Structure 1
Amino acid sequence: MRSKGISLEIIAQLKDLLSTMDTAQYTQPLTVFSGSSVGQHVRHTVEFFQCFILGLEDGIVDYDARKRDFLIENSLTYTLDCLDTIVHKISSISDGQKPLLMATYYDSIIPEMVISNVQRELVYLIEHAIHHFALLRIGIQENFPEISLASDFGVAYSTIKYRESISA
């Protein structure tokens, strides 16, 4: 299941970034983020993965039910521990076709349940994380030029493949 492997690669990219930051950089409000911090963007991304993990257990993934754990946005050590837990849980997935429901709340307090499966949700998490990584790239390049980012950090896989095809 390729989406499982890519999910783990995405998390590894985030862990690599976090290992280069200090707490002051991680928690600093950034103008380019309208006052949000790198940690707040990371928290949002981590909590989506956590919601998915909970959904594996009960069959319903609800991304709106995030805990908004402020420790994730303020503690690098705690965040890295959370990511290690997510890696362990994703690594243990054996059935990408396992059915899931995804709860969404557009106009109601009663969720609309969308039929999904493990693999589809992993694809969503990959795309969602890459989107936030692109934002993180902007914030880090603007505010922390001393932090080196991988050339493909925050770049969609389709874009990477396209760039490779035109340079070949």
Structure 2
Amino acid sequence: PCAMSASRELVLVAVRAILRQKACLLHVFARVDPDLYTRPCRVAGASVGQHVRHSLDHLRVATAGALRCQQAAAAVAASHPPSTCPQRPMVDYDTRQRHTEVERCLQAAHEAVSAMKQDLELLSPADLDLALDAQFMLAAHLPPSENPVLPSSVARELAFSAHHAIHHHATILQILRTNHDIPEGLAAELLRREPDFGVAPSTVSFQGDHPGEGAHQQGERMTTTVQGGQ
């Protein structure tokens, strides 16, 4: 039980770390030039703001699903007699708004990150065991009613959304390094504050075990990037 509790807590720690990194990124942009946040990258296509909005959307959907699970579990426990077959909450990452203020305005992005931090604090490690369903659009030609619905848990979806954000952070770092409109020192300042920004935990662990491989860190960031951010 102690090991399971620690694993659940680790998921929450990982999501908090992603939100902290996003807040740091926004702070650095605010200090340098807020307009650069919305400038499209010539290489990756999307702007930093679009990548922030997209990855934050996934975290928001997963967190909102977790809170619905929490509320549903409380309702079941309070019912008389207790309900045995409640409908499981569902998360859907593909039904989301695009071109929102979060991708256009640093202040809106800051507020979204702060709100998500507050929502995350409402969850306990025990809530991460709650079951939910996740719907995915795996083929563009299929109607929404035919999208697969997969059984999952709060922990799994929060972990997925955090892992998904790391890849977008890697792309953001690539934008900072390759977009000639962005000052060279911006990426360095971000990494000084958040050395693991855009790096998978498995890579950090490998580099800790193999100090001589540290030179590959930049290449690892580059190869784990994803294009777009829509």
| TM-score bracket for the superposition, by shorter chain length | over 0.9
2-structure distance, mates of 1:87, 1:27: 23
Choose which of 42, 45, 50 in structure 2 pairs with 1:31: 42
CA contact (8 A) 2:24 2:190 kept: no
Q: How does 1:16-55 map to 2 (within 5 A)?
A: 16-21=24-29, 22-34=33-45, 36-55=46-65
Q: Answer with 1 or 2: which has the greater Rg.
A: 2
CA contact (8 A) 2:132 2:152 kept: yes
CA contact (8 A) 2:39 2:47 kept: yes
Segments ≥4 residues shifted beyond 4 Å:
none
CA contact (8 A) 2:53 2:103 kept: yes
2-structure distance, mates of 1:97, 1:69: 34
Give the drift of 1:105.
2.4
Gaps of 5+ in 2: 1-8, 70-88, 213-230
2-structure distance, mates of 1:100, 1:53: 12
2-structure distance, mates of 1:17, 1:121: 24
User: Tell me, what secondary structure is at the counterpart of 1:131?
Assistant: helix
Q: How does 1:121-160 map to 2 (within 5 A)?
A: 121-143=157-179, 144=182, 145-147=184-186, 148-150=189-191, 151-160=195-204
1-structure distance, mates of 2:105, 2:64: 22
Kindly indicate whether structure 1 or structure 2 has the higher relative contact order, using CA contacts under 8 Å at least 6 residues apart.
2
Choose which of 175, 191, 211 in structure 2 pairs with 1:167: 211
CA contact (8 A) 2:49 2:102 kept: yes
2-structure distance, mates of 1:159, 1:99: 30
Gaps of 5+ in 1: none
Identity of aligned residues (%): 29
2-structure distance, mates of 1:126, 1:160: 16
Pair 1:66 & 2:90 matched: no
Pair 1:89 & 2:130 matched: no
User: Tell me, what secondary structure is at the counterpart of 2:135?
Assistant: strand
Pair 1:80 & 2:110 matched: yes
2-structure distance, mates of 1:43, 1:52: 14
Give the drift of 1:69.
4.7
1-structure distance, mates of 2:60, 2:159: 15
Give the drift of 1:106.
2.2
With the length of structure 1 as denominator, give the TM-score of the two structures.
0.93
- C-alpha RMSD of the superposition: 1.5
